[in-house]
Structure 1
Amino acid sequence: MKLLAHTLCLALALAWAQSQDHASAVLDRCQGLEMDAVAVNDEGIPYFFKGDHVFKGFHGKAELSNESFAELDDHHHLGHVDAAFRMHFEDSPTDHDHMFFFLDTMVFSYYQHKLEGGYPKTIAEVFPGIPDHLDAAVECPKPECDEDSVIFFKGDEIYHYNVRTKAVYEKEFKSMPNCTSAFRFMEHYYCFHGHMFSKFDPKTGDVHGKYPKEARDYFMRCSKFSDDSDHMERERCSRVHLDAIASDNAGNMYAFRGHHFLRKEEGNDTLTGDTIENSFKELHSEVDAVFTYQDHLYMFKDDQVFLYKIGEPHTHLDGYPKNVKDELGIEGPIDAAFVCEDHHIAHLIKGQQIYDVELKASPRVAGNQRPISLFKKVDAALCGATGVKVIVGNHFYHFSSTMLFVAGRALPEQHRVSLELFGCDH
C-alpha cells in the first residue's frame, strides 16, 4: 500500500510539473511564428492557431485551443491544427457559418463553438477527394470563385472543392509559394508561408504587387522590428483595428494604432506618420480614445487623460495627465470619444453605453447615458461635417448624426478603413 501511495504521489507531482511547464510556455506572435492555421469566426475575428494554442484577433496573448474547442483535445490529444476555415456560403444553410478544423485524417465541425453531432469524421467522408494531412484551407464563395468552393493546399498541390456538387478540381498555382496557412479576409485571399504572406487570386493563384510581405506588419500588433518595415505603408494597410481617431478644426485627421499614428491633411489627402513616443512622448504608446476641442487633443489612456495643444510640435499642457473622473466626471478607461463640429458636447463610449459631457460646464459631468444597440464594442469614432463614422474592427459605418447612431436599429453600409479612409489598395 505504501508503494502504491508513493507511486501515486510521484505521478501526481509529475503531472502537476508538466502542467506548469505547459502553462508557462509563452508564445509570442511578434517573434515570427509560423502559424499552423488561420480561420475567421462568425463575428469576423481571425483565429491564428499555433501548436495547441490560439491567438484571437490581431493582438493579445495566446490561449489554449481546447479552452474554446474542447473536443479537439478530447479526440486528438491536440498537437496542432493542420488547416481551418469558416464555411460562409448562404446557399449552404446546413453548414453556413460553421468552422471546420482539420487534424491529420479527421475533420471537426463547430457551430457557435459547439461540436456538431456525429463529428469528428474522416476528411474522406465529409470532403471526398481531398487528401489527409493538409497544409491549409480557405473558403471561396462565388463570384470570387466560379462556384461556392473550398480551396485546399497540400505541398504544391491545390484542390478546388465544389461545395454543391462535391466535385474536386486540381489546380496549379505557379506564382505562389506553398502555403502553411491561408484565409479570406475582407474579400481578399492570403497565403501565409512562415511569417511572410502573399495576397493571391483564388481562381488563378496569381500574386500581384510587391509580395511576399511581413505578416507582423499587417496582421499583428507588433512594434517596428525591422529596418525593412515601412511604417507608413504598414499603418495605412494594417488589418489591426484603430485604437482612436479624431479630426481637428482644420479638418486634419489623426488615427492611432499601437505605437504609431497617421495624420491626413484636409483637402489634399497627404498622409504623414510618426510614432506616438516621438510626438506625444508623455503617452509612450497605445491610446484608448482621442477627441479634439478648441485646438486641443484630449487623449485617453487607462484612467488618465492627457491634453495637448495642436501644433508643430504638439505641446503637452502642464498639470496633465489628470484622472478621467476628475476631468470629465466618468470612470476610465474609455473605448471611444468624439466631439462634433461647433458643438461643446463630448460623446464618450464605454462598453455599450454612450455618455454626454458638456465641456463648457464646471465641474464637468457625464450624463444622458444611453445604450448602443448596434455594436457590442466600438473601437473608435469620428464626427465631422457629414456625420459620425463609427469604426469597428476593419470597417466603419457612417451615420448622419449622433442621434441616428445611438437610436439606429439597422446597420448602414459597411466601408473599409484601409481603403476608404487611407487609400490603401489592398
Structure 2
Amino acid sequence: MKVGDLPYTLLFLLPLALSYPLLKGRHNDTGTNLHSAPDPDYKVPGMADRCTDEGFGAITLDDKGVMHYFRGDSEWMGFQGPTCGINESWAGVTGPIDAAFRNYNEEKPQEHQRIYLFKGSQVWSFFEGNLVSGFPRPISQEFPGIPDDLDAAVECHRGECRTDSVIFFKDDTVYIYSYVEKPAVKQRHWAALGRCTAAVRWLERYYCFSGINFTRFDPVSGQVLSPRPLDTRDYFVRCPGRGHGHAARHNATLTAINNRCSNRSFEAFSSDDKSRIYAFRGGWYFRVDSNKDGWHAWPLNHTWTNLQGAVDAAFTHENRMYFIQGSQVIVYLSAQIYIPIAAYPKAIEEEWEVPGVTAVDAAFTCPHSSNLYLIRGNKLTQVDLVFRKRSGEDKTIIHEELDSAMCTTHGLYLFHGPSFYHYKDVEELLSSVKAPAPKGIGSYFLDC
C-alpha cells in the first residue's frame, strides 16, 4: 500500500523513529532519553504552544543530532521537547529566526557541522553549543550572493546535490550556494514547490515546510515528492490526539530486530562508494555512519525499491550495490538515489560463473579493488568482477561460522553474533592461524 511516493510503512514509521531512543544515555533527535524521562507536558502555562497551526519559522538538526524547531522567541527540541526561549540554547540570539541549517562541508573541517542561524541581515554560527568567534556577521559577507531576510535554508550533501552546498529560499526564488563551484550561487524557480517557511534534511530526505504543513522534495530539481502536504503535528512533533497511527505508536516498543542494541546478529554489513555504512537485520537497515541523524531502523524498501526480507550479503563496486538473497543477486545503481537494474535478480552461478555456489554466508569487496570475496563456512572464493568469474582456487580461513563481512579503508571486518574480528586486509586473514580478540558490534559501530 502506498501513498504516492511516500510508502505507507514510512509514514507509519516516521513518528516511531522520531520517538525512539537513539543514543544510549545521551540526548538525541527526540530531545530526551525516553528510557528514563516521562513524556513532558506539551504546553507550559504562559509559554508558546508547539501544537498550534502556526508552524515554525526555522528547523534544523544540531551537531549532536537533536532537531530544533523555532517560532518567534520560542524553541522546541525534538519530537516531544518542552517550550524554551531561543536564547537559552543560543547565546546572544533572540527570535524570530528566519532560517537555520547544520553545515556540511568536509573540505573545510573548521566549518563542518556548524549550526547557522539567520535573522534579517545577520547570521550566527555555533559549534558544540558555543558561538563561533567573529559572529554574528552580515549574511553578505559569510555567504556572498545570498539575500537578507531569508525564508528557509537547508544543507545539501555531495551525491545528493552536485556538490556540498546550501539551498536558500526567499519568496519565489531558490539560491543554490556551492562551496566549490563557480559561480558560487545559482538561482532557481521551483514553482511547484511553493514557498518554504522552513526546510530540513533528515535521513537523506529533504522537507519543505509551509506553515504547519510539509512536503518532501528533490534537492536537485525541486520536484515535489509528496502527493499532498502533510501536517507537521502528525509526523515531526508530538501533539495530543494527533499522529499518524497514533494508537499503534502509543503502544509500540522496540523489537530485537529493529533495536540496534539487542545483541542480535546482523546478516550483512556494507560500505558504499560514498562511505555510507549500512547494517542489515531481518528486512531492516541502520545507517551506521549517520548517528547525528539518529539511530533509526528502516525497512529495506525505504531506500532500495522492492527489496524486502533478510539479505545474506551486501557489497558495492563501481557505483553499484549488490545484495545476495539465497541463490539470487539483486543490483542497484547508486547515483543520487538507488535505482534497481531491470535485468536482476540473477542466480549467483550465472552472475559470476561460480558453479556450485548457490548461497553464501558473507561477501565483500575492498576499496579500489575489483576482487569480490564470497565466504561459505571456512572457504573463501575470489571472483574477478571485471571478467565476472572465479579467480584461482578456494582458500581456507580460520573462521568456520560468520554472519557477514565488510572491507573499508580501515581494514577487514568479520562479524559473528554480537562480535566482530578485525584484520588489516585479506592477506592477514589468510595467513592467520589464530583469530584476533573479538570486539562488540554494538559498542564499536552503534554506540550502544
Q: TM-score, normalised by structure 2?
A: 0.49
Quick check: 2:120–2:148 contact (8 Å CA) kept in 1? yes
Instruction: Give CA-to-partner distance per residue, 1:15-40, whole Å, 9 cap, x none.
Output: xxxxxxxx953222223331010111
Quick check: 1:387–1:401 contact (8 Å CA) kept in 2? no
Unaligned segments of structure 2, at least 5 residues: 1-43, 266-280, 299-403, 405-414, 421-438
Q: For residues 43 and 337 of structure 1, do their structure 2 counterparts lie closer, same or farther at Cα, with a shift above 3 Å needed? A: closer
Instruction: State the match for 2:248 in structure 1.
Output: 260
* SS, match of residue 216 in structure 1: helix
Instruction: State the match for 1:30 in structure 2.
Output: 51
Quick check: 1:139–1:149 contact (8 Å CA) kept in 2? yes
Quick check: 1:54–1:64 contact (8 Å CA) kept in 2? yes
**Structure 2 counterpart of 1:38, which letter?**
I
Greater relative contact order structure (CA < 8 Å, 6+ sep):
2
Displacement after TM superposition at 1:337 (Å) = 9.2
Instruction: Give CA-to-partner distance per residue, 1:88-119, whole Å, 9 cap, x none.
Output: 12122221000011011101111111111111
State how far apart, in whole Å, the 2-side matches of 1:339 and 1:97 are: 31
Displacement after TM superposition at 1:69 (Å) = 0.9
Quick check: 1:49–1:55 contact (8 Å CA) kept in 2? yes
State how far apart, in whole Å, the 2-side matches of 1:57 and 1:199 are: 19
State how far apart, in whole Å, the 1-side matches of 2:220 and 2:287 are: 34
**Is residue 2:125 matched to residue 1:91?**
no
**Is residue 2:444 matched to residue 1:410?**
yes
Quick check: 2:264–2:417 contact (8 Å CA) kept in 1? no
State how far apart, in whole Å, the 2-side matches of 1:406 and 1:127 are: 44
State how far apart, in whole Å, the 2-side matches of 1:141 and 1:220 are: 25
**Is residue 2:48 matched to residue 1:48?**
no
**Structure 2 counterpart of 1:186, which letter?**
L
State how far apart, in whole Å, the 1-side matches of 2:142 and 2:285 are: 46
State how far apart, in whole Å, the 2-side matches of 1:406 and 1:32 are: 46
* SS, match of residue 102 in structure 1: strand
Q: For residues 58 and 400 of structure 1, do their structure 2 counterparts lie closer, same or farther at Cα, with a shift above 3 Å needed? A: farther
Unaligned segments of structure 1, at least 5 residues: 1-22, 73-77, 232-257, 262-274, 277-285, 292-334, 342-383, 414-426
State how far apart, in whole Å, the 2-side matches of 1:160 and 1:336 are: 36
Q: For residues 402 and 133 of structure 1, do their structure 2 counterparts lie closer, same or farther at Cα, with a shift above 3 Å needed? A: same
35, 39, 55: which one aligns with 2:60: 39
State how far apart, in whole Å, the 1-side matches of 2:284 and 2:195 are: 46
* SS, match of residue 233 in structure 2: helix
Instruction: State the match for 2:238 in structure 1.
Output: 221
Q: For residues 224 and 93 of structure 1, do their structure 2 counterparts lie closer, same or farther at Cα, with a shift above 3 Å needed? A: same
**Is residue 2:224 matched to residue 1:207?**
yes
After TM superposition, which residue ranges in structure 1, 4 or more long, deviate above 3 angstroms?
335-341, 384-394, 396-409
Quick check: 2:286–2:296 contact (8 Å CA) kept in 1? no
Instruction: State the match for 1:154 in structure 2.
Output: 170
> After superposition, where does 1:93-132 map in structure 2 within 5 Å?
93-132=109-148
> After superposition, where does 1:24-423 map in structure 2 within 5 Å?
24-72=45-93, 78-164=94-180, 165=182, 167-225=184-242, 231=245, 259-261=247-249, 276=251, 393-396=294-297, 401-402=417-418, 408-411=442-445
State how far apart, in whole Å, the 2-side matches of 1:394 and 1:401 are: 20
* SS, match of residue 67 in structure 1: helix
Displacement after TM superposition at 1:338 (Å) = 6.0
Displacement after TM superposition at 1:121 (Å) = 0.5
**Pairwise CA RMSD of aligned residues?**
3.7
Quick check: 2:101–2:200 contact (8 Å CA) kept in 1? yes
Q: For residues 407 and 34 of structure 1, do their structure 2 counterparts lie closer, same or farther at Cα, with a shift above 3 Å needed? A: closer
State how far apart, in whole Å, the 1-side matches of 2:248 and 2:110 are: 44
State how far apart, in whole Å, the 2-side matches of 1:217 and 1:140 are: 25
Instruction: State the match for 1:347 in structure 2.
Output: none
Quick check: 1:127–1:166 contact (8 Å CA) kept in 2? no
How many corresponding residue pairs? 251
State how far apart, in whole Å, the 1-side matches of 2:58 and 2:77 are: 12
State how far apart, in whole Å, the 2-side matches of 1:191 and 1:385 are: 32
Identical columns (%): 35
Q: Which has the larger radius of gyration?
A: 1
